């Protein structure tokens, strides 16, 4: 598969997210001969991008909305695209996709990939009909246009939302389930620590990720005498209005129902201690990478029957699906699996098999590179026709 030296530009609103979710793809593209560039704001883990020798460009687009910065976002991207002259630009997440597609059309970038990593805060079931949700919907309908574009979705629900609302044509939609993980990085045979089993929630610490419900379930189980430890892994996200505060975390720590482990960059080690993984989210997820990692580690999961989560966890086969915002159901599911280690272990084995067969990092890379090849071929044809 020859790249022909084509230039690919990744545009992501957070450097750390690029590193955690797209760096392996960018390095694989470079190995295939593509000239890979990356555009993010300055921020945590930027040094990792630079250490890998990827050409980096600063942008003003950030996840957090700021009116003055938003006004400069599209002109900033137009200037970048005209300077870098990419053959293909790969936008990651909603804001980069929205601003970037318009800028790419205006700048005549030959090919565009938009990776929708979940619909997030504005499109959850409480906000999709609010002014913010309706405004974003109208914006997609008007700005999400390019003659040579593919939109990568992580779950069918998000894909159907875009197609049914006619934000994109059915032919532009591609389903690639998540950013993938390397199963070899996780050892399901790692011995668990002695003592009470550890139940882990790992996530950005947002209210809509179900962090409060996890704490509530831990309280119920502690009250009922269930012998287990409950650990929250992650940190507050100040760029999101639903972030759990450091004060709240300290209150929960002092209360004693849960342990606060903070941000960790060693998920194989974290999951090596876990007997059960929990993500009681009601955020509009893509496919949560943490659930894929838990499966790769051979750990059963309790999560919600919501878009993205039900794509990775098969109810009563690789874990348990519960209704969102239901502390009682969450506590019951956790207790049932803690009482039945054989069932839990069998679910974990099937979860790892599912990750290896459907959610591996290499599969995601291969599927995405295939999209690049098709778009670059079509972009060259459009250029000749023009």
Q: Is 358 exposed, middle or buried (0-12, 13-18, 19+ CB in 10 A)?
A: middle
- What's the length of the chain? 386
pTM for the complete prediction?
0.89
Q: Is 273 exposed, middle or buried (0-12, 13-18, 19+ CB in 10 A)?
A: middle
Q: Are both 7-180+360-385 and 183-358 of the same fold?
A: yes
Q: Which fold has domain 7-180+360-385?
A: Rossmann fold (3.40.50)
Q: Which residue has the tokens 């002259």?
A: 85
- Across 236-270, b (16+ Cβ under 10 Å) vs e yields bbeebeebbeeebbeebeeeebbebbeeeeebeeb
Domain ranges of the chain: 7-180+360-385, 183-358
Domain 183-358 matching CATH 2.60.40.420: the answer reads no
Tens of pLDDT along the chain (386 residues) come to: 556 689 999 999 999 999 999 999 999 999 999 999 999 999 999 999 999 999 999 998 875 655 556 778 899 999 999 999 999 999 999 889 989 999 999 999 999 999 998 776 556 555 445 555 566 666 676 667 888 999 999 999 999 988 988 888 999 999 999 899 999 999 999 899 999 999 999 999 999 999 999 999 999 999 999 999 999 999 998 878 889 999 999 999 999 999 999 999 899 999 999 999 999 999 888 899 999 999 999 999 999 999 999 999 999 999 999 999 999 999 999 999 999 999 999 999 999 999 999 999 999 999 999 999 999 987 665 554 44
């Amino acid at each position: 598969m020859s790249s022909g030296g084509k230039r690919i530009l990744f545009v992501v609103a957070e450097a750390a997210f690029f590193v955690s979710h797209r760096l392996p793809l960018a390095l694989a593209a470079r190995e295939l001969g593509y000239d890979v560039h990356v555009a993010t704001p300055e921020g945590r883990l930027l040094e990792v991008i630079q250490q890998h020798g990827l050409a980096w460009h600063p942008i003003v687009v950030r996840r957090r909305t700021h009116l003055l910065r938003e006004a400069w976002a599209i002109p900033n991207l137009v200037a970048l695209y005209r300077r870098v002259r990419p053959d293909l630009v790969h936008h990651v997440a909603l804001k980069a996709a929205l601003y970037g597609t318009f800028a790419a059309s205006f700048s005549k970038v030959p090919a565009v990939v938009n990776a929708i990593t979940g619909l997030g805060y504005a499109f959850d079931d409480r906000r999709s009909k609010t002014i913010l949700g309706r405004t974003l919907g109208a914006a997609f309908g008007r700005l999400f246009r390019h003659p040579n574009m593919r939109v990568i979705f992580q779950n069918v629900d998000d894909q159907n939302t875009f197609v049914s609302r006619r934000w994109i044509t059915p032919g532009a939609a591609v389903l690639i389930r998540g950013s993938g993980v390397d199963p070899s990085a996780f050892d399901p045979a790692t011995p668990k620590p002695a003592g009470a089993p550890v139940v882990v929630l790992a996530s950005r610490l947002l209210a809509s990720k179900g962090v409060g419900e996890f704490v509530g379930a831990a309280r119920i189980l502690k009250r009922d005498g269930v012998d287990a430890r409950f650990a929250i892994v992650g940190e507050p996200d100040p760029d999101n209005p639903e972030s759990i505060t450091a004060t709240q975390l300290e209150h929960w720590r002092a209360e004693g129902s849960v342990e606060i482990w903070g941000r960790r960059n060693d998920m194989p080690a974290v999951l090596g201690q876990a007997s059960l993984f929990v993500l009681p989210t009601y955020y509009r997820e893509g496919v949560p990478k943490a659930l894929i990692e838990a499966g790769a580690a051979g750990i059963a999961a309790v999560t919600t029957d919501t878009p993205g989560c039900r794509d990775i966890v098969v109810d009563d086969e690789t874990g348990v699906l519960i209704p969102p915002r239901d502390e009682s159901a969450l506590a019951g599911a956790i207790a049932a699996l803690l009482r039945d280690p054989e069932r839990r272990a069998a679910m974990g084995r099937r979860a790892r098999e599912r990750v290896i067969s459907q959610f591996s990092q290499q599969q995601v890379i291969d599927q995405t590179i295939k999209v690049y090849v098709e778009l670059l071929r079509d972009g060259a044809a459009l250029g000749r026709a023009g």
